[in-house]
A = this chain, B = another copy of it.
Amino acid sequence: MHHFTAASDVTDLPALLAKAARCKADPLQWSTLGRGKTLGLIFFNPSLRTRLSTQKAAHNLGLQCIVMNIGTEGWQLEFEDGAVMNAGTAEHVKDAAAVMGRYCDIIGVRSFPGLKDREEDYQERVLEAFKKYAGVPILSLESATRHPLQSLADLLTIEEYKQVERPKIVLSWAPHPRALPQAVANSFAEWIRASEYDLVITHPEGYDLAAPFFAGHTVTYDQNEALKDADFVYVKNWSSYRQYGQILSQDPSWMITEEKMALTNQGKFMHCLPVRRNVIVADGVIDSADSIVLDQAENRTYAAQAVLATLLGK
């Protein structure tokens, strides 16, 4: 594994999941692996659980962390090749990334999409520039189109809770007052495919994900049909990919309620958090015994730890 930015970066997913489970069972077993090494965490956008869990994972490996909040602390970066930089941007990403690569053994990057220009967002220019210029492994802390550490933690959580070999897993859209990225939904679909589970995706018309992400999965506009007999219900809002970045629906009937969960096979409720309570999901569902959102959050640490250990050569 050279980088960790998408499911396709992982050559042996079962082994990676097993490694994450081992990290959880004994977090300090590789506590000197990162000795003398530095993890740079570059945030173009704010972060709470990603930062905390990744810092904790690094600590567990004896890896030093340096956090940079670009934007509030740093510079405006230039991305155009050959630009005459006599205006707003103070440093070209090719220099900034290369410099960070001289200080850091691994660089984590968080960069959200603008949700204005689909082509630009899906080119992942920030992440790709770091991969191209930094000279060290790049760890995605959520990029414009994917959130792989979240998905790995989600899979680890499913492994912990599944009762049957091939559980029924559902990804359901739910309403939200603001336009959100497709990254978590894209990644979940991508990683479920990589783990060879089936996935049913349900959302209102116009909310189809990009084809490479939903390909091979079942898609339906009938949420109740999708939820029927589900073992895991992963809920998430995203803005439209087709009418890019737009909110096409805030239909409250898509909120996950206890009535809807009653359609499932005592399904586990999953969400990446933060979550808008009583908009995305009713209190009664997220506060129930079948809600495993905190396990997902906790597993972020061990997902990150397994990935960091792998990038360090373990």
- Which residues of A are at the interface with B, using a C-beta cutoff of 8 A? 27-28, 31, 35-36, 38, 40, 46-49, 51-53, 55-56, 59-60, 64, 66, 68-69, 72-75, 78, 82-87, 90-92, 95-96, 98-100, 102-104, 177, 273-279, 283, 286, 293-294, 297-298, 301
A85 & B48 in contact (Cβ 8 Å cutoff):
no
B48 & A297 in contact (Cβ 8 Å cutoff):
no
B52 & A100 in contact (Cβ 8 Å cutoff):
yes
Q: Complex formed: what's the CA distance from A294 to B100 in Å?
A: 10
Distance in angstroms from A161 CB to nearest chain B CB is: 16
Q: Complex formed: what's the CA distance from A98 to B295 in Å?
A: 10
Distance in angstroms from A287 CB to nearest chain B CB is: 8
B278 & A90 in contact (Cβ 8 Å cutoff):
no
Q: Which of A47, A90, A91, A99 has the most CB of B within 10 A?
A: A99
Q: Complex formed: what's the CA distance from A9 to B56 in Å?
A: 28
The majority secondary structure among interface residues of chain A is: mixed
B40 & A36 in contact (Cβ 8 Å cutoff):
no
Distance in angstroms from A156 CB to nearest chain B CB is: 14
Q: Which residues of B contact A51 (CB under 8 A)?
A: 66, 68
- CB-CB under 8 A for A36 and B52, given A90-B276, A278-B84, A294-B102: no
Identify A74's interface contact among B48, B66, B85, B100, CB under 8 A.
Answer: B48
A36 & B60 in contact (Cβ 8 Å cutoff):
yes
B83 & A278 in contact (Cβ 8 Å cutoff):
yes
Given contacts A51-B66, A69-B73, 4 further A-B contacts (CB under 8 A): A48-B75, A52-B99, A78-B277, A95-B274
Identify A85's interface contact among B31, B49, B277, CB under 8 A.
Answer: B277
B36 & A31 in contact (Cβ 8 Å cutoff):
yes
In this complex, what residue of B is CB-closest to A178? B90
B84 & A279 in contact (Cβ 8 Å cutoff):
yes
Sample 11 A-B pairs with CB under 8 A, ordered by A number. Answer: A27-B36, A40-B52, A46-B74, A52-B100, A82-B278, A84-B278, A91-B274, A92-B275, A95-B293, A103-B297, A103-B301
Q: Which residues of B contact A64 (CB under 8 A)?
A: 55-56, 59
